[in-house]
Amino acid sequence: MEEIHNYITPEECQELIKMIDANHSRSSVVVGGTDRTDVTDHRTSSTSNLDMSTPIMSKIKKQISETLGLELVKGEALQGQLYEPGQYFKPHNDFFSGPAYDMHCKASGNRTHTLMIYLNDDYKGGGTHFPTLQKTVEPETGKALWWYNMKDGKVQDQYLHEGVTVDEGKKYVVTSWWREKNWDGAGDEKMYLNSIKEKKVEEKKSYIVKASELTKKESKPITEVQPKVFTSKEQIPKFTELGFSIQKCPAETWNIINDSYNILKDKGVEEVFDGKENIIKGGDTELLSFDALPSIRTLIHKQLLSTHQEWIKNENIEPSFIYGIRSYKKGATLTPHVDRVETHHISSIIIVDKDLACGCSNKPEADDWPLDIQGHDGEWYKVYAQPGDMILYESAICEHGRLEPFGGTFFRNFYVHYKFV
């Protein structure tokens, strides 16, 4: 580990601070022991994916490459971090292990080095503490701090570290991670998804069972669905007591959705569909389309099929539609409605991400944005959900919407639809 004073100039620090201020969102972390990334209270700061095509970023990455003695192609894209009062990053290591290694390291290898640059020091708290080493590095404008994550093929877990809570002011840093091999985020993603498919094939086992045993199998209660093609919601039977419920999205599927979101989050396009002006009012929406990820869309549909079947205790449904992730903008409302009676019978809304920052003078964040839904009992309910939550609902017969204008920056949902067969 080494501290390097005056690594970049005060002017460069200010330029980077402006870049972070212009584009940042709530940070996510790899959930311990899993291959899932999520927004959790383990890390409360904001992250900025810096534009590596700018002259200053090219200059700094080359400088870090020379400092560490590593090839430029082994460096990840640099990230900026912003910590506001009360925010922190609990103790963690920067190398990947377990399922997280499978997701992030199959092509690029593990992280070997971290170099962090402090962009300011006009705040209280916010040091970088290394519990195992019993050492705290205090911020200093323009100072760099680097350490090993791996050395000679072995993880260096003594560099466990945390971003101490900021007490007053704002803390800005830039972080650079370096890999064993040439960094290839897309390659890591592709190899991980291929491994999931291979694993599923391996898990299929041959077996023999007596035909007579099949007749002893306890059958699930099944509500008859007639007709199979509906023209009005009155024809569609009710399958659950209330018409909706909330649960966690299955971890395997959430991992894939979240990773796909990280690929698509900066590729939103204006959402266009017939009747949009009657449904979404007050603020616009963007669509992070899965048209470019057709195999992922199919995989998600297949993985979540049993979740929906078990919820309604009926196996007679099949995938119909997944459009992508809808991103609502500030001011948007969703007019109460039911979904398409031909194809959207049993559905789920998976909360992917939200930024409630509102720029308000009296409070830092807008109120959360619930789903308003009418149950089979005739009562209306407000459902508050967090990223990773999954709202299952009988979408063609339960009227639903979001009645209050959204007050934050963005609110992103992933919709999954099934139809009766």
Tens-place pLDDT, residues 27-53: 765 544 444 445 567 788 999 999 999
Residues with Cβ within 8 Å of 395's Cβ and at least 6 positions away in sequence, in order, are 338, 339, 344, 345, 346, 347, 417
| Alpha helix positions (H), 42-184 | 55-68, 99-104
CA angle 323, 325, 274 (to 5 degrees): 50
Q: At what angle do helices 55-68 and 10-22 cross, to 10 degrees?
A: 120
User: Residue 368 above 80 pLDDT?
Assistant: yes
> How is residue 156 written in tokens?
């260096």
Q: What is the CA radius of gyration of the chain?
A: 25
pLDDT at 231: 67
The answer on pLDDT for 232 being more than 90 is no
Helix-strand-coil percent breakdown of the chain, rounded to 5? 25, 30, 45
Residue 284's pLDDT is: 85
Instruction: Please give the average per-residue pLDDT across 148-169, as a whole number.
Output: 93
Give the range among 113-127, 150-164, 207-221, 380-394 with minimum mean pLDDT. Answer: 207-221
Least confident stretch, 4-13, 90-99, 302-311, 397-406: 90-99
Query: What would the pLDDT profile of 331-349 be if each residue is shown by its tens digit?
Result: 999 999 999 888 899 999 9
At residue 82 the predicted structure's pLDDT band, cuts being 50, 70 and 90, is very high
Q: pTM, whole model, 2 decimals?
A: 0.49
Residue 189 has a pLDDT of 75
Closest C-alpha to 91, from 172, 36, 32, 11: 32
What are residue 325's phi and psi, to 5 degrees?
-105, 120
Q: Residues 6 or more apart from 262 whose CB is under 8 A from it?
A: 37
User: Is the pLDDT reported for residue 178 higher than 80?
Assistant: yes
Amino acid 229: pLDDT = 63
Report the share of the chain in percent with pLDDT over 70. Answer: 87
- Go through the domains of the chain in sequence order and give each one's CATH number: 2-189 (2.60.120.620), 221-420 (2.60.120.620)
- CA angle, corner 107, sides to 105 and 112, nearest 5? 50
Query: Alpha helix (H) ranges present in 152-282?
Result: 185-203, 211-214, 251-264, 276-279
User: How confident is residue 230, by pLDDT bands cut at 50, 70 and 90?
Assistant: low
Give the span between the Cα atoms of 169 and 118, in whole angstroms: 14
Length in residues, the chain: 421
Q: Residue 196: its pLDDT value, please?
A: 59
Interatomic CA distance for residues 104 and 177, integer angstroms: 13
**Pick the residue with more confidence: 319 or 215?**
319
Query: In terms of Cα–Cα distance, which of 120, 177, 124 is closest to 146?
Result: 177
Supply the pLDDT for residue 208. Answer: 35
Q: Return left, alpha or beta for 188; rule: phi > 0 is left, psi -120 to 50 is alpha, else beta.
A: alpha
Q: What is the pLDDT of residue 295?
A: 85
Average pLDDT, the chain: 86
pLDDT in tens, 191-206: 877 765 555 444 444 3
